[in-house]
Structure 1
Amino acid sequence: MNASTVFPMIPAASKSLWFFAIISLVLIGVLVLMVWLAWSMQHVRFTVSNEGLRLQGDLYGRLIPLKSLKLDEAVVTNLKTDRDHQPKSRTMGTGLPGYSAGWFKLRNGEKALLFVTDNTRVARIPTTEGYSVMLSVSEPAALIDELKHQQAVR
């Protein structure tokens, strides 16, 4: 008959538990951010008013006053053929397949705020602030026309 004696290990210090708690909180935070980003990608909208162009639904949303928009230079573009205005590098934003939002550097060196999901239908609107806004909408010409109308009414 073998007799055995068990010697339990001394329990770990509470530092170990704090480590797991902090890592868990960081992972939960990242998960919440990813869920919010996935939701917001589907709910971005652009509102034209007498105040200006409001970009809503993402981290990079803002109100761009009408006076800051160079509407005489605004155009509808297809980024598949307009190589100069294609995003080259992301400086601060989200770049996923089929979704680009945030600050990008374009091939021509220009800085741009993008909300692009469809490269073939993009309203490109330069601003007086040193960057362009590039937005995917179903009717980019109608967006530009509405901005021009709001600017004329002011």
Structure 2
Amino acid sequence: MTPTTDPRLQLAPAGARAGTWLFLLGFVLPLAITAIALAFAVQGKGELKLVAGSLPLTIVLTLGGLAVLCGGLWWLLARMMRRQSLQLSAAGIDVRSSFYRCQVPLQELKLDQARVVDLDEHTELKPTLKTNGFSIPGFHSGWFLLRNRRRTFVAIAEGRRKLWLPGNGRRDLLLEPRDPHAVLARLRELAANGGRG
């Protein structure tokens, strides 16, 4: 598949809200929990296992080591959240989102039933159960079970308009391109041309 160069036909990037949640959950929260646990351990009456017999050194090494570990994990997840691509061709659709990829041949898509939706109005298409995915508020990527009980590959951010592409087999798609109407029109054009591009 050749890359799609039209920016309207690309997936919407994760927004600032998703980035903030990732930082809070992946970096701040583990450090806060560990700091609280250390404070309780120091206040307790039990014997502490200290590094070189020093409480300050133990605290610095514990929090510092955790900060390095969480910082590395946060950096990796933030980088993967930016891995968003959508390629359309006569062969079908190729979606890459964070750690996941889904390819669906054009003939397996029910384009006559595909539509642009607002999930606040079409709640049956909201992702409810993550079966193999990456999800934080404002970003969902991977395989999910929707409220309509269909297992679906999801690549959505926090915009309002999503593209629902039902398949005739095991693969449905719920995507958030920058211009969902343009993606749907391009897919229908490819299908009408018999997959000749």
**What TM-score comes out, normalization by structure 1 length?**
0.74
Give unpaired runs (5+ residues) of structure 1: 1-23
1:114 and 1:38 mapped to 2: Cα distance?
Answer: 18
Identity %: 27
Partner of 1:150: 190
Counterparts of residues 18-97 of structure 1 (less than 5 Å): 34-97=74-137
- Which whole-Å deviations, capped at 9, do the CAs of 1:9-50 have from their partners, x for residues lacking one? xxxxxxxxxxxxxxx9xx96x865653331121230111111
Partner of 1:7: none
1:80 and 1:119 mapped to 2: Cα distance?
Answer: 11
Structure with the higher fraction of residues in helix conformation: 2
- After superposing the two structures, state which structure 1 stretch, 115-124 or 51-60, moved more: 51-60
Number of residue-to-residue matches in the alignment: 128
Backbone CA RMSD of aligned residues: 2.1
Q: What is the CA-CA distance between 1:136 and the residue it aligns to?
A: 0.7
Contact kept? 1:79, 1:119, Cα under 8 Å:
no
TM-aligned CA distance change 1:71 to 1:38, over 3 Å: same
Partner of 2:28: none
**What TM-score comes out, normalization by structure 2 length?**
0.59
1:71 and 1:97 mapped to 2: Cα distance?
Answer: 29
Choose between structure 1 and 2 for higher RCO, CA contacts under 8 A separated by at least 6 residues.
Answer: 2
Larger radius of gyration between Structure 1 and Structure 2 = 1
2:125 and 2:166 mapped to 1: Cα distance?
Answer: 12
Partner of 1:127: 167
Q: What is the CA-CA distance between 1:62 and the residue it aligns to?
A: 2.8
Contact kept? 2:100, 2:142, Cα under 8 Å:
yes
Give unpaired runs (5+ residues) of structure 2: 1-64
1:105 and 1:57 mapped to 2: Cα distance?
Answer: 17
SS of equivalent residue, structure 2 residue 100? coil
Q: What is the CA-CA distance between 1:57 and the residue it aligns to?
A: 4.5
Partner of 1:118: 158
